[in-house]
Chains A and B, each alone.
Chain A
């Protein structure tokens, strides 16, 4: 079942930063990895992805450089900055807290409280 983009939207920033932390990536690569890792259950719209990437760059969370991929073609790669790394760490912490809260609220079967 494909997941609604509204649910995941708030966490897309963290997802994109995580993928760029793993290794320097170019725009479409990020979209394609997201689709592959979620076994096609979630696909990010490119309009959303590119807008986010540009916003990250403006905020100084990532930087870009022109690199080469296969067949010597040039591509714009994104790399994480120390600021971006700190931001990701904060978002990760937020996510862990949210996960804990949601599991407490939705999965607890104890009806006494």
Chain B
């Protein structure tokens, strides 16, 4: 029955089905081979018939694969937004820090003007946070 095992493993190579599911399919196909042998077919013919009649994965497994692909893509894009947010937050902190230092040490006479560009800069991570929350909510 090695042929059946190899066939099923090859068929499910690109899917993310659990081993248990694959084993169960193998078990069912082996049952069919045994039944066909009882009708008088040789093991070789029974295996061949079983493989030919199994059909393809289109009917029910492809939708599952598509779902898995979409889920994976979504996970990746959430991770991407997270990284963007992290980068934007760090960069904003550094830029605000530099502005504050320049303001306090070199242009103190003009008041705390660094607050104005800092407020504008905060919209960068905030917009990314908004995007991330929206993506998570989808």
Q: Does B110 contact A (CB under 8 A)?
A: no
| Interface class of chain B by DSSP | helix
CA distance A32 to B28 in the complex (A): 13
Closest residue of B by beta carbon distance from A43: B53
Contact string, B6-32, partner A, CB cutoff 8 A, digits 1/0? 000000000000000100110111011
Report the nearest A residue to B61, measured CB to CB: A51
- For B34, the closest partner residue in chain A by CB is A73
In the complex, what distance in Å separates the CA atom of A54 from the CA atom of B29? 14
Q: Name the CB-closest residue of B to A64.
A: B24
In Å, the complex CA distance between A99 and B60 comes to 26
Which of A26, A47, A70 is B54 in contact with, Cβ under 8 Å? Answer: A47
Whether a CB of chain A sits under 8 angstroms from the CB of B120 is no
Q: Contacts A27-B28, A28-B31, A32-B35 known; A45 to B54 CB distance under 8 Å?
A: yes
Given the interface pairs A48-B60, A51-B60, A51-B61, the reply to whether A28 lies near B54 with Cβ below 8 Å is no
Contacts of B34 in A (CB 8 A): 73
Contact with A along B47-78 (1 / 0, CB 8 A): 00010011111111100000000000000000
- A98 in the interface, Cβ–Cβ < 8 Å? no
4 shortest interchain CB distances as A-B pairs: A45-B55, A51-B60, A27-B28, A28-B32
